[in-house]
Amino acid sequence: MYNHIAIIGSSRAIGSAFYAELSTLCPQAVIHTFSRHDEGRSHHHMIDYTDEKTIEHSAKKASLGAPFDLILVTTGVLKTEPNIEPEKSLKDLSAHKFEAIFAANTIFPALIAKHFLPKLNRKDRSVFAVLSARVGSISDNHLGGWHAYRASKSALNMIIKNAAIEIGRRCPNAIIVSLHPGTVDSKLSKPFQSQVSKDKLFTPEYSVQKLINVMNGLTPDDSGKCFGWDGQEIEP
């Protein structure tokens, strides 16, 4: 399985669920967690998502013992307080909204990739996975709206594709993917859950179990792609 793991965004619902599940599945593993606040874990690192220096420092410190077999980026925002909501139409667009959403959903994961991908295990199979969203698929967009969020996730998927091509040249056993966790009962989805049927609203634990199963079945040929919690590839 995995022996050296990084979970960026470990204080979030899905990040916390990943930590709990992987601690059980991989009891021998050293699991490094990263968030803005001290979580009291033995291998926890505080990281400021707006300060690249802290990203660089934490990647170097956490990888001193061994390269990573699994890196998970579980961060992301759909809305922020007090006035950034998913846009319903073009008239709701603003530069401020785009900057805030792209900073969290695209720029930060890209910087994580910059500093953490060189720390992947180059000898054996390794996985770098970020949480994306089905709404980032251009071909699957039939409803419109949510302009900044959709665009930020679409851009994130492109970053993953580019990273997979670049890293694959020198690390052929690496698998670099984006994952759609489904609609998870979390702070991010809470304002929009009334529009989701009960059978499509997942607990973080259920989503994480499905995503781990998906990752375990991937090969280097899958690198650069986006997969849903059900294992189905999501087209760009």
Classify residue 203: in a domain, yes or no: no
Question: What is the mean pLDDT of the segment spanning 75-86?
Answer: 81
| 83: confidence class by pLDDT, cuts 50, 70, 90 | confident
Range of the domain at 62: 4-198+208-228
pLDDT in tens, 119-173: 999 999 999 999 999 999 999 999 999 999 999 999 999 999 999 999 999 999 9
Mean predicted lDDT score pLDDT of the chain: 92
Classify residue 16: in a domain, yes or no: yes
| 82: confidence class by pLDDT, cuts 50, 70, 90 | low
Distance of alpha carbon 21 from the chain centroid = 16
| 56: confidence class by pLDDT, cuts 50, 70, 90 | very high
CATH at 76: 3.40.50.720
- The reported pLDDT for the residue numbered 58 is 96
Classify residue 76: in a domain, yes or no: yes
| 194: confidence class by pLDDT, cuts 50, 70, 90 | low
With 80 as the cut, is the pLDDT of residue 193 above it? no
Classify residue 53: in a domain, yes or no: yes
| 221: confidence class by pLDDT, cuts 50, 70, 90 | very high
Classify residue 234: in a domain, yes or no: no
Classify residue 233: in a domain, yes or no: no
With 80 as the cut, is the pLDDT of residue 24 above it? yes
Distance of alpha carbon 182 from the chain centroid = 13
SS (H, E, C) the chain: CCCEEEEECCCCHHHHHHHHHHHHHCCCCEEEEEECCCCCCCCEEECCCCCHHHHHHHHHHHCCCCCECEEEECCCCCCECCCECCCCCHHHCCHHHHHHHHHHHHHHHHHHHHHHHHHECCCCCEEEEEECCHHHCCCCCCCCCCHHHHHHHHHHHHHHHHHHHHHHCCCCCEEEEEEECCEECCCCCHHHHHHCCHHHEECHHHHHHHHHHHHHCCCHHHCCCEEECCCCECCC
| 196: confidence class by pLDDT, cuts 50, 70, 90 | low
With 80 as the cut, is the pLDDT of residue 7 above it? yes
Distance of alpha carbon 128 from the chain centroid = 9
With 80 as the cut, is the pLDDT of residue 105 above it? yes
Residue with tokens 């590839």: 233
| 65: confidence class by pLDDT, cuts 50, 70, 90 | confident
Least confident of 89-98, 184-193, 213-222: 184-193
Number of domains the chain contains? 1
pLDDT in tens, 26-51: 999 999 999 998 888 889 999 998 89
Classify residue 235: in a domain, yes or no: no
- The reported pLDDT for the residue numbered 195 is 63
With 60 as the cut, is the pLDDT of residue 189 above it? no
pTM: 0.94
